A = this chain, B = another copy of it.
Amino acid sequence: MDRPLIFITNDDGYQAKGLRCLIDMMRPLGRILVVAPEVGQSGKSHAITMSQPIYMRLVEEDDDVTIYTCSGTPVDCVKVTFDYLLKDQRLPDLALSGINHGANSGVNVLYSGTMGAAMEESFYNIPTVGVSLLSHDEDADFSSIPSFVLPIIERVMRGEAGIPVCLNINVPDLPHGQIRGVKFCRQTRGFWREDFEKRQDPRGRDYYWLSGYFVNTEPDAVDTDEWALKNDYIAVVPVQVDQTNYTQLRQLQAWNTQCSE
């Protein structure tokens, strides 16, 4: 079998429509291996399961597509695939995460289980792409994605973006004809603020629901993913694992560190 092997995971769980659409989109390009969470794992970031064991379950298998579920986080799905299922075997030629139901633009990349998994995939030195649609609807319409996103994935798969590479692709929730194209851009600066909703449980204890909104601290910048999405473009941000702030590092190195040798 010389067909390419394509690994897919997500954070909405193995039954999510976005995952099924990504499988269908990639099916012509190779054999598909899916290991996806048993249940939704939105907001799980790069979390791993340390205090509980991980269960797996084979739920579908034919010549083209194999699907396992995993009881853990999206990053657990990646680890159990590469370091257990595929251990000492040929690595996938491409690793994907998505299609996520909801935006992972801007600082969402930090909270996102979809992008946590994509970054973890990139540790295996294979081309890696995370894809998200700006709709939380369970029955969202993913039909405008393939004609824009598949050409990018194919170039990444051919190695044209180099290795390691981890792209964060966000797609506006628009009909195909209204999407104006693709912009390669940087992560928008900003943060979330929460309006905690306070309620009382039947036993009289207060509890709180997270319910936040994104604050874009550079709304006028035109080279950001938020700008691209607001202007009906697909936003593509290359993501890196190194979180060192080098500008600040040079400043700090000038400190008179009393404690050094």
* A257 contacts B53, C-beta separation under 8 Å: no
* A242 contacts B189, C-beta separation under 8 Å: yes
Q: Does A258 contact B (CB under 8 A)?
A: yes
* Contact partners of A209 in chain B: CB under 8 A: 53-54
Q: Does A67 contact B (CB under 8 A)?
A: no
* A244 contacts B240, C-beta separation under 8 Å: yes
A104 CB, min distance to chain B CBs, angstroms:
11
Known contacts A194-B83, A208-B80; decide if A182 and B259 are in contact (CB<8 Å). yes
* Contact partners of A55 in chain B: CB under 8 A: 205-208
Smallest CB-CB A-B distances: 7 pairs: A240-B245, A181-B260, A123-B191, A53-B207, A45-B46, A238-B248, A45-B45
Q: Does A50 contact B (CB under 8 A)?
A: yes
User: Quick one: CB contact mask for A237-260 with B, threshold 8 Å, 1 for yes?
Assistant: 111111111101101110101111
Give the CA-CA distance A180 to B259 in the complex, in Å.
8
* B260 contacts A210, C-beta separation under 8 Å: no
Known contacts A184-B255, A186-B242, A239-B243; decide if A162 and B80 are in contact (CB<8 Å). no
Find residues 140-197 in chain A having any chain B CB closer than 8 Å to their own CB: 147-148, 151, 155, 160-162, 165, 180-187, 189, 191-196
* B47 contacts A43, C-beta separation under 8 Å: yes
Give the CA-CA distance A189 to B123 in the complex, in Å.
10
Kindly report how many copies of this chain are found in the complex they form together.
Answer: 2
* B249 contacts A48, C-beta separation under 8 Å: no
Q: Does A40 contact B (CB under 8 A)?
A: yes
* Contact partners of A45 in chain B: CB under 8 A: 44-48, 75, 116
A72 CB, min distance to chain B CBs, angstroms:
8
* A50 contacts B210, C-beta separation under 8 Å: yes
* Contact partners of A260 in chain B: CB under 8 A: 180-183
A129 CB, min distance to chain B CBs, angstroms:
12
Cross-chain pairs A/B with CB under 8 angstroms, 17 sampled: A44-B45, A44-B47, A45-B116, A47-B111, A54-B196, A54-B209, A55-B206, A79-B194, A151-B258, A162-B248, A162-B251, A181-B259, A185-B249, A186-B244, A237-B243, A238-B248, A238-B252
* A43 contacts B53, C-beta separation under 8 Å: no
Give the CA-CA distance A248 to B40 in the complex, in Å.
32
User: Quick one: CB contact mask for A111-153 with B, threshold 8 Å, 1 for yes?
Assistant: 1000010010001000000000000000000000001100100
* B53 contacts A180, C-beta separation under 8 Å: no
A76 CB, min distance to chain B CBs, angstroms:
7
Most buried by B among A40, A43, A44, A110: A110
